[in-house]
Structure 1
Amino acid sequence: MRLVRYIEAEGKPPVFAACTEEGQVVPLPQDGIQALIRQARSERVTPLEWVRKWMRTAPRLEASEEQLRLAVPLVAPEVWAAGVTYARSRDARNYEATGGKLDATTFYDKVYDAPRPELFLKSTAARTVGPEEEMLLRSDSNWQIPEPELGLVLDGDGAIVGYTAGNDLSCRDIEGENPLYLPQAKVWKRSCSLGPAIVLAESVEDPYRFELACRIYRGGALVSEGTASTGQLKRRFDELVAYLIRDNDTFDGNVLLTGTCIVPPNAFTLQNGDVVEIEIGGIGTLRNTMRSPTQNATQNATHDSERSASEFG
């Protein structure tokens, strides 16, 4: 089951809806995944059971899913991320930290093999964008890349409610200069995107068989492409979640990004106007355009103000 939020009219909050396999759209009475989690919990049913019950008698939207203008599928209180969960990510981090010594061993090897995973706070609701929205490149970095990742949508107890796609925009030069710079290499305005949909966990037969693809276009031409599978993960999802919720305040609708296995060539860096597509089978394609801080500054400021007013009170 796929859940989306779509923009029905400018200036109004997005509408939360379920999408059938045939592309039909059924608006839901809840205003988001958090409300759905609370409703299902109060009725002692699963989110999927609640949605299926509602869809038996609820009217369908006249428009199909393809015709909708989609918003970020959930307003996540916090977006966390896991690092060095794939061998490819470990190798890329080693390259950054050693100035290109491909055979070097660093602390990234240690965290790859350690019982404790690397976890960090990636974003908040106000910093996160959705499908077709612009992401912002950092002004003090010369080596920036997208990181396509499967995101776990969690309830307040740490149970996996669903899955979504995420783009963990990252600065390889800043992180490589010093690991203590990780927050600056990962967290800034509009550096995280989620979408285009949430697939409820109960409808996924095997979450370690998700196929991911990342395509980067410049001037309409494909300049980088890669594929991966969640089957290549070093760690299990329940392992990552267990460390995230340990001695921590957690909230319905938090998202945990599970790391990347797709890294562009070392000579590549994102530029203003690049378009990044992250596709995960069953979830859809998350598409965003990259903007430098000097481009469309007024437009971005207006957009963020509107998001704050309509979604975050």
Structure 2
Amino acid sequence: MRYYRVATHGGPRIIVRTTDTAYDLTSVKDDLTSFLDLIRAANITDSDIDEVADRLVAKADEVDVDALDADVTIPVAPSEIWAAGVTYEISEEAREAESAMPDIYREVYHSERPEIFFKATPNRTVGPGEAVGIRGDSDWDVPEPELGVVLYRGDIVGYTIGNDMSSRSIEGENPLYLPQAKIYDRCCSIGPCVTSTAGLDDPHDLEMSMTISRDGEQVFEGSTTTANMAQTCEDLVSYYNRHNAVPELAVLLTGTAIVPDASFTLQADDHVSIDLEAIGTLENDVTVV
């Protein structure tokens, strides 16, 4: 199942979509207004989120699927977003190419321990249709489309799409500048929904694509598959959890394999569209922050 959060005049609502039909779960339970509410209900009743939704669907109001995309907002509000780097070979090659110290990326790619870093807080994260940011002090900026793992108390409960916005010029200048290249206003977007673990057969066999448009014309297109990941989602999550006081709700981005070439940089008003099989399409315009 896919879970969306929509904004209405009466407040946020949780919508579940099953193939071609969508249902308003908040119409059954007024206090069910977030994905976290749904997870907590599942945890209390010792069931999974799809089982909770199934019990509510019979009484829930139907929602027009065609109108759903216009109202969706950020599907989850994680306390923290973390990210993994150098999990695809092309990402390792790109990080080597931009850096004056390429060996460290080669070593990480072939190492058992992955690169895991802090990415964003809620106030730095945007949802579908909101603008992602590029830093005003950077001259080489790219989006990084990624499979996002949604975690409840460190356990995988679903998957979403993430855009790990990055300043390649700042990171390339010195690896110690990674936090500045990655963490800033509007540095991350997630959405448009969360697909439950039961609703996704294999997170390591998903087609992903990204297009970037400028002034109505496509200026970049790339595609990949999560089958090219060097490490599994479970392995990445295990390292994220190690000796770490994880929050109740978090998202871990799993790295990118779609990297524009060195001649490309984002500009204000560009439009980024990321499509990920079994989840949907995350779209954001670009602004300078």
Name the TM-score, length of structure 1 as normaliser.
0.88
2:15 aligned to 4, 11, 17, which one? 17
Provide the residue aligned with 1:297 in structure 2.
none
Task: Check if 1:246 corresponds to 2:248.
Answer: no
Provide the residue aligned with 1:111 in structure 2.
108
**Distance in structure 2 (CA, Å) of the matches to 1:59 and 1:168:** 35
Give the CA RMSD over aligned residues: 1.5
Q: Which SS does the other structure have where 1:24 is aligned?
A: strand
> Once the two structures are superposed, what CA deviation does each residue of 1:124-147 show, in whole Å capped at 9, x if it has no partner?
111110111011210110000000
Give, as a single letter, the amino acid of the residue that structure 1 aligns with 2:252: L
**Distance in structure 2 (CA, Å) of the matches to 1:204 and 1:290:** 30
1:88 aligned to 87, 90, 99, which one? 90
Give, as a single letter, the amino acid of the residue that structure 1 aligns with 2:89: A
**Distance in structure 1 (CA, Å) of the matches to 2:239 and 2:67:** 36
Matches within 5 A, 1:167-182: 167-182=163-178
**Distance in structure 2 (CA, Å) of the matches to 1:68 and 1:261:** 29
User: Which stretch shows the higher mean deviation, 104-113 or 41-50?
Assistant: 104-113
Which stretches of structure 1, 4 residues or longer, exceed 6 Å deviation after superposition? none
Change in CA separation of 1:27 and 1:183 when aligned onto 2, cut-off 3 Å? same
> 5+ unaligned residues in a row in structure 2: which ranges?
none
Shift of 1:203: 1.4
1:57 aligned to 59, 63, 88, which one? 59
> Once the two structures are superposed, what CA deviation does each residue of 1:225-267 show, in whole Å capped at 9, x if it has no partner?
1001110000011111111111111123200000000001111
> Once the two structures are superposed, what CA deviation does each residue of 1:93-139 show, in whole Å capped at 9, x if it has no partner?
000013xxxxx951101011111110011001111101110112101
> Once the two structures are superposed, what CA deviation does each residue of 1:70-93 show, in whole Å capped at 9, x if it has no partner?
101111110000000000000000
Give, as a single letter, the amino acid of the residue that structure 2 aligns with 1:108: Y
Question: In the alignment, is the contact (CA less than 8 A) between 2:95 and 2:102 conserved in 1?
Answer: no
> Once the two structures are superposed, what CA deviation does each residue of 1:26-82 show, in whole Å capped at 9, x if it has no partner?
233322121111111110111111111111222223564545411011111100000
Provide the residue aligned with 2:203 in structure 1.
207
Provide the residue aligned with 2:8 in structure 1.
8
Q: Which SS does the other structure have where 2:82 is aligned?
A: strand
**Distance in structure 2 (CA, Å) of the matches to 1:67 and 1:138:** 28
Question: In the alignment, is the contact (CA less than 8 A) between 2:15 and 2:22 conserved in 1?
Answer: no
Corresponding pairs, count: 285
Provide the residue aligned with 2:41 in structure 1.
39
Give, as a single letter, the amino acid of the residue that structure 2 aligns with 1:145: V
Change in CA separation of 1:203 and 1:133 when aligned onto 2, cut-off 3 Å? same
**Distance in structure 2 (CA, Å) of the matches to 1:251 and 1:214:** 30
1:128 aligned to 125, 128, 144, which one? 125
Q: Which SS does the other structure have where 1:140 is aligned?
A: coil
1:70 aligned to 65, 69, 72, which one? 72
- The structure whose residues are more often strand, as a share, is 2
**Distance in structure 2 (CA, Å) of the matches to 1:248 and 1:202:** 27
Task: Check if 1:190 corresponds to 2:192.
Answer: no
Question: In the alignment, is the contact (CA less than 8 A) between 1:7 and 1:68 conserved in 2?
Answer: no
**Distance in structure 2 (CA, Å) of the matches to 1:136 and 1:67:** 22
Change in CA separation of 1:67 and 1:166 when aligned onto 2, cut-off 3 Å? closer
Give, as a single letter, the amino acid of the residue that structure 1 aligns with 2:241: I
Give, as a single letter, the amino acid of the residue that structure 1 aligns with 2:148: G
**Distance in structure 2 (CA, Å) of the matches to 1:109 and 1:56:** 53
Change in CA separation of 1:105 and 1:190 when aligned onto 2, cut-off 3 Å? closer
Give, as a single letter, the amino acid of the residue that structure 1 aligns with 2:23: V
**Distance in structure 2 (CA, Å) of the matches to 1:13 and 1:120:** 33
Give, as a single letter, the amino acid of the residue that structure 1 aligns with 2:129: E
**Distance in structure 2 (CA, Å) of the matches to 1:65 and 1:198:** 18
Name the TM-score, length of structure 2 as normaliser.
0.95
> Once the two structures are superposed, what CA deviation does each residue of 1:248-294 show, in whole Å capped at 9, x if it has no partner?
1112320000000000111100001100001101211111010123x
